[in-house]
Amino acid sequence: MTEQRELLPIATGRQTVAALRALLRPRRWLAAAGLLVLTAATGIGLAVAPLLGHVVDLVTTGAPASAITTPVVALAVVAVLSGAATAWGLTLIARLGEGALAELRERFLNRALRLPLGQVERAGSGDLTSRAGNDLNAVASVVRSGLPELARSLLAIFLTLAGLAVLDWRFMAAALLAAPVQLYTVWWYGGRALPLYARQRVAVGAQQQQLLETIGGAPTVRALRRREQHLGLVTGRSQDAVDLTMRGVNLVTRFYARLNLAEFIGLSAVLATGFLLVRSGEVSIGAATAAALYFHNLFTPVNIALGLIDDVQSATAALVRIVGVADLPEPAAPPAPRTPADASLHADAVSHSYTADRPVLHEVTIAVPAGQRVALVGASGAGKSTLAGLVAGVHEPTSGSIRVGGVGIGDLDPAGRRAVALITQEVYVFAGTLAEDLRLARPDATDDELTAALEQVGAAEWAAALPEGLTTVVGEGGHRLTAAQAQQLALARLVLADPAVAVLDEATAEAGSAGARVLEASVVAALRGRTGLLVAHRLTQAALADRVVVLDEGRIVESGSHDELRETPDGRYAELWRAWSGRRDADRTA
């Protein structure tokens, strides 16, 4: 399908700020307490330099050795207090950040899961996935490690400047001489780092993906003798990643070189100021020492705070993409939701086109009485999957109507039991236990009901043979299920969801022929008592249906029972069946 890409929305600055406010408002007291405690912790810590300065003063004024004890005890008290207060403050900040983060990710996922599938597909599958993966992680890592570090560093910087000012305002003025260089450095670095790191992440991702593709496809590469080609691809992508990483390293080292210059300017200025102030008798040598130590202690927090700026920037870029989805307006519910009268399915004169100039379906009309099964047969591109998607409500037809039990698809009660379920050839096993996977379809199902559903689709045997039965962890990182098992799992979910109408789009296609036969039995079992619309790629499936509909280029060209169509002279279905069943009159071209 050659549809136009249309990315999911990205929040504006104002929306993002509003969303952050909404997250922080219920936590404002926690925020205030956290900030207060951390400020206190940093403030207490600042007593260290003047206390050391006091020791210096005592020594230079020739005080007895015993006089040292008092400031030293104070130093010990300061150490314990600032340690405890820091721990407490960081805990409060973590509760604040983690709580807000949890609320944000829950709001995001809740909204993401209810996006119309058509919209997700138009955006490309990667858009939503990368927001749920990379973007959430980027924000989480800044909230988790960046935020507390940043808070501490900024507090340390501001309070140290204040401490310098308390010693003598001229010390602070001297220290601030470093600021222009630092600000310029941040501006210089920020403009270069973000695009470079974005490119580096892309290159590292491309390298990773190339390795997975080449190594995962090693048997194919060997069979086709494409070793040189793939070795070249891996080498090229790996070298690209290395080169971009090195450009990043060069940038960072230049960043720190500039900050070193700022350190030197500030430190010299503070020392020179101390020299002048001591000479004019305005401050003691101890105060000058304290000022120098203050400034020396600023090196680390300044480096941390400035180094975090690009993390914060990329987290912001991720945040606007998360808020963009989380804050989407809720879809309008049908004004008067209705419940289907029965399990019948009607498609009336349904036409559809994804793009205006390429209609895929033309005036297709199909009526499936409750409990019957209709198989759709036709070449790829005939419109089978489109029709299946329309019936399942994935897309809205361009014209015509689709009704289940007399109720239009759009008027079905969204809160009620799912009337139409769709299973495609896309197999997916959710990470978690087998039971958790099944309970997605019916959260309140008992273990017995789960086992019964598995039994109905012929999956009970292998499920029982799993290392820990229903509680075996499956999916990504867990026990690997075969394609056929995964599809049986999908059918068991269908049984549990228990919809009136089931649409199966080539639900046995990925399992290979041998697996397909087993799956066909599972499909029949899962459809028992339901109205079924099946896109069949194996004619044995079609043969089991009550009626077969042959589609060609978006139109119904044949419709009837398997036996009727099989006997139709020159019929399309009859030709397919001949080839399939191996009758000699299938036109051999040897």
Partner 1 sequence: MPQFTSGRVLRDALRGQAGRITGSALLSTGHQAGEAMVPVVIGLVVDRAVGTGSSSELLAWLAVLGAVFVTLSFSFRFGARLGERAAEQAGHLLRVRLTDRVLDAHGGADTGRLPGTLASVATSDAGRVGMVALALPLGIAGILGLVVGAVALLRVSLPLGLLVLLGTPLMMGLAHLLGRPLQRRSEVEQDRIAHTAGLAADMVGGLRVLKGIGAERAAAERYRLSSRAALTATVHAARAKSWHDGTLLAVNGLFLAIVALVGGRLAADGDISVGALIAAVGMAQYLIGPLSMLVWVNGELAQGRGSAVRIAEVLSSPPAVGGGAPLPGPVTGRLTVRGLTHGGLRDLDLDVPAGQLVGVVAADPAHAEALVDLLGREREPDSGAITLDGHDLSTLDPEAVRGALLVAAHDADLFEGTLRDNVLSPAADALPLPQQRTGDTTAPPSPTSSPEQPPTAASNTSPAAELLATALAASGADEVAATLPGGVDGVLAERGRSLSGGQRQRVALARALAADAPVLVLHEPTTAVDAVTELRIVHGVRRLREGRTTIVITTSPALLAAADTVHFVADGALTASGTHEQLVREHTGYRTTVLA
Q: Tell me: does residue 202 bind partner 1 (CB under 8 A).
A: no
- Identify the residue among 46, 123, 175, 221 touching partner 1 (CB under 8 A): 221
Count residues binding partner 1 (CB under 8 A).
Answer: 182
Kindly state the smallest distance separating residue 370's Cβ from partner 1, in Å.
19
Euclidean distance between CA atoms 429 and 483, whole angstroms? 10
Asked if 550 and 378 touch (Cβ cutoff 8 Å), the reply is: yes
Stretch that binds partner 1, among 329-337, 449-457, 554-562, 582-590 (CB under 8 A): 582-590
Instruction: Report the SS3 class of residue 350.
Output: strand
> Cβ neighbours of residue 132 under 8 Å, at least 6 residues apart?
108, 109, 112
Stretch that binds partner 1, among 25-33, 104-112, 155-163, 524-532 (CB under 8 A): 104-112
β-sheet with 420-424: strand ranges across = 420-424, 501-505, 531-535, 373-377, 547-552, 555-560
Q: Which of residues 487-506 bind partner 1 (CB under 8 A)?
A: 490, 493-494, 497, 499, 506
Stretch that binds partner 1, among 6-14, 19-27, 174-182, 212-220 (CB under 8 A): 212-220
3-state secondary structure 491-551: HHHHHHHCCCEEEEECCCHHHHHHHHHHHHHHHHHHHCCCEEEEECCCHHHHHHCCEEEEE
Q: Quick one: which H or E segment has residue 16?
A: helix 13-24
Q: What is the DSSP string of 420-467?
A: EEEEES-----SEEHHHHHHTT-TT--HHHHHHHHHHTT-HHHHHHST
Long-range contacts, stretch 293-297, CB < 8 angstroms, 24+ apart: 293/49, 293/52, 293/53, 294/46, 294/49, 294/160, 294/163, 294/164, 294/167, 294/171, 294/175, 294/270, 295/160, 295/164, 295/175, 295/266, 295/267, 295/270, 296/267, 297/49, 297/156, 297/160
Kindly state the smallest distance separating residue 14's Cβ from partner 1, in Å.
26
Kindly state the smallest distance separating residue 563's Cβ from partner 1, in Å.
16
- Identify the residue among 351, 399, 540, 559 touching partner 1 (CB under 8 A): 540
DSSP 334: P
Stretch that binds partner 1, among 71-79, 174-182, 332-340, 554-562 (CB under 8 A): 71-79
- Identify the residue among 271, 312, 452, 544 touching partner 1 (CB under 8 A): 271
Stretch that binds partner 1, among 17-25, 155-163, 166-174, 237-245 (CB under 8 A): 237-245
Euclidean distance between CA atoms 508 and 311, whole angstroms? 46
* Cα angle, residue 426 at apex, residues 420 and 431 outer, rounded to 5°: 95
Q: Tell me: does residue 219 bind partner 1 (CB under 8 A).
A: yes
- Identify the residue among 16, 182, 200, 210 touching partner 1 (CB under 8 A): 210
- Identify the residue among 133, 180, 191, 410 touching partner 1 (CB under 8 A): 133
Q: Which of residues 140-159 bind partner 1 (CB under 8 A)?
A: 140, 144, 148
Token pair for residue 490? 């999908």
Token pair for residue 427? 């197999």
To the nearest 10°, report the CA torsion of 437, 440, 445, 451. -30
- Identify the residue among 19, 193, 539, 545 touching partner 1 (CB under 8 A): 539
514 alpha carbon, distance to own chain's centre: 36
CB nearer to partner 1: pick between 362 and 399: 362
Q: Which of residues 324-363 bind partner 1 (CB under 8 A)?
A: none
CB nearer to partner 1: pick between 462 and 580: 580
Kindly state the smallest distance separating residue 71's Cβ from partner 1, in Å.
7
- Identify the residue among 19, 186, 203, 377 touching partner 1 (CB under 8 A): 377
Stretch that binds partner 1, among 23-31, 172-180, 186-194, 219-227 (CB under 8 A): 219-227
> Cβ neighbours of residue 258 under 8 Å, at least 6 residues apart?
181, 184, 185, 188
CB nearer to partner 1: pick between 114 and 349: 114
Instruction: Report the SS3 class of residue 476.
Output: coil
Kindly state the smallest distance separating residue 378's Cβ from partner 1, in Å.
6
Q: Which of residues 75-94 bind partner 1 (CB under 8 A)?
A: 75-76, 78-80, 82-91, 94
Q: Which of residues 403-442 bind partner 1 (CB under 8 A)?
A: 417-418, 421-426, 428, 430-432, 436, 439-442
CB nearer to partner 1: pick between 342 and 575: 575
Asked if 506 and 389 touch (Cβ cutoff 8 Å), the reply is: no
Instruction: Give the phi and the psi of residue 7 in degrees, each rounded to 5.
Output: -60, 155
Q: Which of residues 27-56 bind partner 1 (CB under 8 A)?
A: 45, 48, 51-52, 55-56
Q: Which of residues 239-268 bind partner 1 (CB under 8 A)?
A: 239, 242, 245-246, 249-250, 252-254, 256-257, 260-261, 263-264, 267-268
Q: Which of residues 170-199 bind partner 1 (CB under 8 A)?
A: none
- Identify the residue among 24, 68, 194, 304 touching partner 1 (CB under 8 A): 68
Euclidean distance between CA atoms 131 and 328, whole angstroms? 14
Q: Which of residues 309-328 bind partner 1 (CB under 8 A)?
A: none
Q: Tell me: does residue 477 bind partner 1 (CB under 8 A).
A: yes
Q: Tell me: does residue 234 bind partner 1 (CB under 8 A).
A: yes
Token pair for residue 432? 């978690």
